Amino acid sequence: MKHLYSRLYYFFELLAVIVLFIVPPIMRGIYGIEAVYPTKPESLSAFLYFLCLVCFSAGFEELLYRLYLPYRLKTLFSSKGSVSFICVEAVPIALFAVAHLQAGWGTVIYAAFAGLLFRSIFCAVQKKYTLAVAMLSLSLIHSIHNLCSYYLFLF
């Protein structure tokens, strides 16, 4: 009975996270609300704010899509097999990709490949080092990627 309650708790926790953090960017993309990108920072304080914004956003995405979702889905789909693997690995990558829909379908496809690459890097680093090292290194890689993307394509 206790196992059933814990699985229900994990399910409702996952549902709340999806509704609060994953559905809003997807809905913005579906309803065609344009992505809001920051303007090019003109001063040192504006650049530091921009840098913090990019780093925290990337870190949040890594925590959500590379750490929380796979581990929570693994607790809900604890059986071995291809269905469990698809739920644990493919669903977070697909959600990460669709969360970028507001920037266009090309970005969704790019984000799917980036999500696959980021998850592969996360698993490889975690296997060799620790979870904290994997999260920090991947957040740094994601932050650098986003900074380069902003400076190459938006500014």
The per-residue pLDDT for range 77-115, each reduced to its tens digit, is 777 777 777 888 899 999 999 999 888 899 999 999 999
pLDDT beyond 70 at 117: yes
Predicted local confidence at residue 104, as pLDDT: 84
pTM greater than the 0.75 cutoff: yes
Give tens-digit pLDDT for 18-68: 888 888 888 887 887 777 777 788 899 999 999 999 999 999 999 999 999
Give tens-digit pLDDT for 58-83: 999 999 999 999 999 888 877 777 77
**Contacts within 8 Å (CB) and 24+ apart, 99-106:** 99/22, 99/25, 99/26, 99/29, 100/25, 100/29, 101/25, 101/26, 101/28, 101/29, 101/30, 102/25, 102/28, 102/29, 102/33, 102/34, 102/35, 103/29, 103/35
